[in-house]
Amino acid sequence: MKKVLILIGELSDSAAPDELDVLRQARVVEEELINSGYNTSRAFMGTDLGKTLRVIERSEADIVFNLVESIGGKAELIHIAPALLKSVPVPFTGSGPEAMMNTSNKVVAKRIMEMAAIPTPRFIITGDQTRKASGRYIIKPILEDASVGINDDSIVEGDIPAKLSLVSIKSYRQVFAEEYIAGREFNLSVIAGKNGPVVLPPAEIIFRDFPEGKPEIIGYNAKWDESSFEYNNTIRSFEFDRADALLLEELKEISLSCWRVFGLNGYARVDFRVNESGKPFVLEVNANPCISPDAGFYAATLQAGMSFGEVIERILADTSV
């Protein structure tokens, strides 16, 4: 019987819902592994890397299922897990340290996309005098995931560099400003297959009954605050008209390009905005999307007619070493 060690990032003392969600992911993965005949164990990874190495070695695991999203609440440390695992002669799920670092740093990811001719919204960072910024922009943390730090107040107009600096000082975070693309929002999930990556059915995010002037964005409330208007009125839909066929095919091809360019493994999600003229822009490439039962990736696998057992087996079969 093969042994799988499920590795989770050490939680901070005051873990918020986005951080605690990894426990739900671990539970559903663990249940499926046990149902499939695997022997499982769990471990939390903190900043004591020597301790984590000893735990991995003592586990005698045949494979590590890497669910580390942050360490001590610090999302910027996400790449440490695959970097450490790469030093151990045990295969692990998901993308390697290079891909994880390049996708988790949103500015680095956007620069890579620009060089690869993958369309992404214009952006500006604090102190950058080479890029011009006018119109509506959304200020985002560079090193956070799960819409942390994003709300309606993140949308700004006017003197973008000045507002960018002000937000950075107030939030104590590294931030950047990304052009706000008015239009539609899509998520495309990708999973490994025997003959290469497979794009799962696309999902569109419907902003239902949003008042005029309210930004149509996936902020923190939309993802995590179940009592909020945003959470209850941001709807995932897999239904499309025939008129969307060419657009959806283009989104699929761009998603596959992101997989190749960033060297992804196992599973991923690509988030898009499509402007009013029908031009797509990649907002983010997520190398370790949430796989909780209520998350977009899980929903896309169900839409594709896949059991979660098949999903886990595909992820296990496309490991990094």
Residue 137 β-bridge partners: 156, 179
281, 189: one domain: yes
Domain that holds residue 300: 102-118+183-202+238-317
| In a domain? residue 106 | yes
114, 255: one domain: yes
278, 292: one domain: yes
**Residues 3, 41: Cα–Cα separation, whole Å:** 8
135, 167: one domain: yes
**Residues 149, 147: Cα–Cα separation, whole Å:** 6
194, 295: one domain: yes
Residue 170 has pLDDT above 70, yes or no: no
190, 299: one domain: yes
**What's the domain count of the chain?**
3
Is pTM beyond 0.85? Reply is yes
282-314: per-residue pLDDT in tens?
999 999 999 999 899 999 999 999 999 999 999
CATH of the domain at 110: 3.30.470.20
**Contact (Cβ atoms closer than 8 angstroms) between residue 85 and residue 53:** no
- Residue 14 has a pLDDT of 81
How many residues are given for the chain? 321
Task: Give the tokens for residue 284.
Answer: 């983010």
160, 15: one domain: no
| In a domain? residue 232 | no
190, 112: one domain: yes
Higher model confidence: residue 271 or residue 319?
Answer: 271
108, 245: one domain: yes
| In a domain? residue 214 | no
15, 75: one domain: yes
33-91: per-residue pLDDT in tens?
999 999 999 999 999 999 999 999 999 999 999 999 988 888 889 999 999 999 998 99
